Amino acid sequence: MSNIVAVVGRPNVGKSTFFNRLIKRREAIVDAVSGVTRDRHYGKTDWNGKEFSLIDTGGYVVGSDDVFEAEIDKQVELAIDEADAIIFMVDVESGVTGMDEDVAQLLRKVKKPVFLVVNKVDNNKRLEDAVEFYSLGLGDYYAIASINGSGTGDLLDAVVEALPEKEEIEGDELPRFAVVGRPNAGKSSFINALIGEDRYIVTDIAGTTRDSIDTKYNRFGFEFNLVDTAGIRRKTKVKDDLEFYSVMRSVRAIEHCDVCLLVLDATRGFDGQVQNIFWLAERNRKGIVILVNKWDLVDKDTKTAKEFEQHIRKQIAPFTDVPIVFISVLNKQRIFKAIETAVEVYKNRTKRIKTSVLNEALLPIIEHQPPPANKGKFVKIKYIMQLPTPQPQFAFFCNLPQYVKDPYRRFLENKLREQFDFNGVPISVYMRKK
């Protein structure tokens, strides 16, 4: 489980620049294949080998500064509730403002680690000006310039040092299936239909489920936890504090589950917000099942299931090996099929393939279609093994790993999927030096 660090502060102090700097550093290494940060205000990063999730709260407030003043207190309170550590950013150019003092007043009561960060300190004169921030009563501060990264190293050293150790989830704990999606897609109704009792209040008001709630569920001789999450709402709509809260909660639910059941409303389609949730799950390397709900309301002449499915697969390329189940929660159509599929995906995600079996299946294919020669040098893949990680990752040992390009990696991933069923599960392929 990774810790959550929230970055709070009034507008234009440089929170997003700081956030982007940390995430890009990490994205550059991790997401070289997908290559796109699809959600601007949430990301994973690591420092000194310790991984944590970073949330830029500024991304969740839209509107003028006066709207912001009312919002910022709520935001900070929520960050205090949900995050494991808080970075409070201020701006040396404008000095201490009334809004900074309000935030400081909230943060002084907090039992969690709070880091006061004075941004835009890029010369000695400004270093002297930063002293006035002692008046906020939060003790020492870190002077940084997020635009060029100076000072961020010391800050991050202190942040990871202060993060609580997360206990690893016990091996015998039940698998967790998180039901995610935007508000009103039918997540709570889906869970009610499965359990057969109104365990949740289901109303037509978007976003009534504010928290993630766990339910033990036993069916098909398979026991697991169902996690209902607050609907993740489009960023521009996250106006009230509870919305922001639900985003943070959903992030946590996705991070700590094994399989995401992504419920979408067929009448709205696979829109940008649903795609964001999909990529959030994919980036966290979770199993994914896409459930197209309210299929009974779609006019079948215009959209057949096949067309609808092709449209979704186009949006999620290159990771298209994902099960899509058309359901109607209202008519209890195919809802158990949805759960059976999730169980299959869970088994795929936890599958271990013997090294001998892997090599027998893949080496002949690789010999027949080796990586293209690069600068007259030939890459020879000698040996393959699955790494001992919670999700499927494979190491291909070869003489010149640096010459194996993305298209060939994708070829290897596709062959792995053809030979062994990894439906619904992101897999990682690494080239290692033999």
Three-state DSSP class for residue 428: strand
Let me know the angle formed at the C-alpha of 104 by 102 and 110, rounded to the nearest 5 degrees.
120
- Residue 286 annotated as part of some ligand binding site: no
- Residue 272 annotated as part of some ligand binding site: no
The answer, yes or no, to whether the previous bond of 318 is cis (omega within 30 of 0) is yes
How far is 279 from 281, CA to CA, in rounded Å?
5
- Residue 183 annotated as part of some ligand binding site: yes
- Residue 134 annotated as part of some ligand binding site: no
How far is 228 from 178, CA to CA, in rounded Å?
6
Say which DSSP state 65 is in: H
- Residue 59 annotated as part of some ligand binding site: yes
Three-state DSSP class for residue 145: strand
Residues 6+ apart with CB under 8 A from 185: 231, 263, 264, 265, 268, 293
Paired strand residues for 150: 145
Q: CA end-to-end span of the chain, whole Å? A: 32
Residues 6+ apart with CB under 8 A from 360: none
- Residue 15 annotated as part of some ligand binding site: yes
- Residue 283 annotated as part of some ligand binding site: no
- H or E segment and range at residue 339: helix 335-349
- Residue 258 annotated as part of some ligand binding site: no
- Residue 374 annotated as part of some ligand binding site: no
- Residue 48 annotated as part of some ligand binding site: no
Looking up tokens 């507008």, which residue turns up?
Answer: 11
Q: What does each C-alpha distance from 173 to 87, 188, 191, 216, 284 come to in angstroms?
A: 33, 23, 21, 11, 19
- Residue 12 annotated as part of some ligand binding site: yes
Going by C-alpha positions, the residue among 71, 82, 41 that lies closest to residue 59 is 41
- Residue 21 annotated as part of some ligand binding site: no
- Residue 287 annotated as part of some ligand binding site: no
- Residue 53 annotated as part of some ligand binding site: no
- Residue 102 annotated as part of some ligand binding site: no
Pairing of strands 3-8, 50-56: parallel
- Residue 171 annotated as part of some ligand binding site: no
How far is 146 from 19, CA to CA, in rounded Å?
9
Pairing of strands 324-326, 287-293: parallel
Residue 433 main-chain phi, psi, to 5 deg: -75, 130
Residue 272 main-chain phi, psi, to 5 deg: -55, -40
- Residue 314 annotated as part of some ligand binding site: no
- Residue 13 annotated as part of some ligand binding site: yes
Three-state DSSP class for residue 189: helix
Q: What does each C-alpha distance from 6 to 3, 44, 162 come to in angstroms?
A: 10, 12, 14
Looking up tokens 């392929």, which residue turns up?
Answer: 429
- Residue 11 annotated as part of some ligand binding site: yes
- Residue 121 annotated as part of some ligand binding site: yes
**For 346, what's the count of Cα atoms within 13 Å in the CB-facing half-sphere?**
21
- Residue 119 annotated as part of some ligand binding site: yes
- Residue 370 annotated as part of some ligand binding site: no
- Residue 407 annotated as part of some ligand binding site: no
- Residue 123 annotated as part of some ligand binding site: no
- Residue 122 annotated as part of some ligand binding site: yes
- Residue 120 annotated as part of some ligand binding site: yes
Binding residues for GTP: 9-16, 56-60, 119-122, 181-188, 228-232, 293-296
Binding residues: 9-16, 56-60, 119-122, 181-188, 228-232, 293-296
